[in-house]
Chain A
Amino acid sequence: MSDDTLTIAGRSFGSRLIMGTGGAPSLEVLEQALRLSGTELTTVAMRRINPAARGSVLEVLQRNNIAVLPNTAGCFTAGEAVLTARLAREALGTNWVKLEVVADERTLLPDPIELLDAAETLVDDGFVVLPYTNDDPVLARKLEDVGCAAVMPLGSPIGSGLGIRNPHNFQLIVERAQVPVVLDAGAGTASDAALAMELGCAAVMLATAVTRAQHPALMAEAMRHAVEAGRLAHRAGRIPRRFHAEASSPMAGRAELDPEAPAF
């Protein structure tokens, strides 16, 4: 719905699906998936330039009018992440950064101490900081307190496709946050994205679920619909869960019938 835009740091987006670009088998497949996802904001990583590389992910984003969101993937310390963010700002002309500071390669879980340190430094340096964080309500609050423009808790480890392992924590984060809460990592299929939105997330960020699906373009389209459906359901207000059935048809006014007739 056009009147239900996602707003981060004063900037509005018609789509609530933030895409990543990692994992796609080719730029052609990626471009088709990005188009069908409807995304308006998409992440890239910063790496050493390869003179032999053909094509550029930046060109794909530019010609599809998708805003670029550099990340700090691969950083293990606050220092590495801050320098990577500054290089991205210089290279791409944006002060937005998806801040990732992970603890180890096996889990790729955020290192909360380094993350908070980097977030504070980058906010002070004028960045719009979108941190990839644990699904920890306390850490989410602290990231917001140091000035992050959104918080992006993980549903489950990056690339795992395990969905949202702790929906209750998401509810706790959403309940208190004054900035947008974005599911980041863990979505495996459309229902995961829909659930995130139903829980009150402002947006969903994903890459692997689409780029490594058997049919990336189809999954991109599925994710777009899932995010929209989940958002609508959240706004609509779901019914409370009940242990027992509750009839929706009235009992009053039923016909008086002989339960034994007609005989079958």
Chain B
Amino acid sequence: MTSPPNPPPPNPPSAQPRYPVRVDLPAHANGGPNGDTPDYPGDPISEPYATLTAVAPAPELPSVPMTAERLPRWAGWAVPLGFTLGGLLALPSGISPGLVLPVVMIVSAAFIYLWSRSVEGARYALDRLVTAIVTSAFLIAMIPLVSVTWTVVDRGTGRFDWDFFSESMRGIVGAGGGGYHAITGTLIVTALACVISIPIGLLCAIYLVEYGKDNRLSRWLTFFVDVMAGIPSIVAGLFAYALFVHISGPGVRMGIVGAVALSVLMIPVLVRATVEMLKIVPNELREASLALGVPTWRTIAKIVIPTSLGGIAASVTLAVARIIGETAPLLITLGITTGTNFNPFSERMATLPVFAYTQNQTPGIARNGMGPPGFDRAWTAALILIMIVMALNLLGRLIARLFAPKTGR
């Protein structure tokens, strides 16, 4: 008998043990009075027991109740609301709102924490405290967004009229004129940047995920894409300018130069986002296709890309949104002009960000009790830019939904 018996099951103390319970036997139980000679030599049953010690019954654990007292349901919103009202009452005394807001947030969080702790216990109190912190952080993060949107809409609607969409600035000195040339310029340059970047970015991402598979080249590529993502936009503009100086001579200003500068900024964003999208395509789909005898490139073109098309479209729109508002590189490479130019391969072009910038720099002279007309045009240009980005985002979501893999019956 070499192996010990099965360990006893964790019986409740009152239950009858189903297996032999390990017990301490007196020293003579398995030996003579001196413990040297066993009473029953080679007894197969008593032998192993003698060497084992008793196992105490498991200690009682405190019982956990399944019900607990909770705060009233309105506590979550009523407490911050009450303190906000208190803060509003304090405002007329001349205290800065920038001081009242954090005080209201901190006092509400502290109040709900202490109240909850006294009623609900430590776990719920911590939950409520973290909820308060997260909500406060969200509200603080919303401040700049709401503020920018409000200001741009408020001041941009002044010139948001038909003229702005149909007239350029050619021959305009005072009020009037519009951003038609800048809108077309932005659309042309951005479209050209997409034509350059999307094939390069997508193919690069496809190489990294589908072919590179962490080999040396793909590791270097990933590294340089990361470096590229950190290039300041003004440097990208200088690069594109310097490149075209070699081709067309000094002082070059063309749409294509700006498109190249924007591509330098767009490609890394596109590659990183597309790589993530391709990575989430399940490997089983690639294997299923390969096992059917489908060549790798067709597997990519017909299985991997369609499966991730929604995500890729979203990546493209995000990358476009990233570059469409760039000002500095376009200021260097395109300059500004007052007339409409549809040809990106010759002469200067106006774009919305640069238009807004120059209108703000040289707003003209205030007349007839109106402010300088350039300010209004600059705000409207900013409003249109925001609307284009928003439209692109919505378009990206729409495409993502249209091309999402079908699962319905």
- Does chain A bind chain B? no
User: Footprint of A on B, CB under 8 Å?
Assistant: none
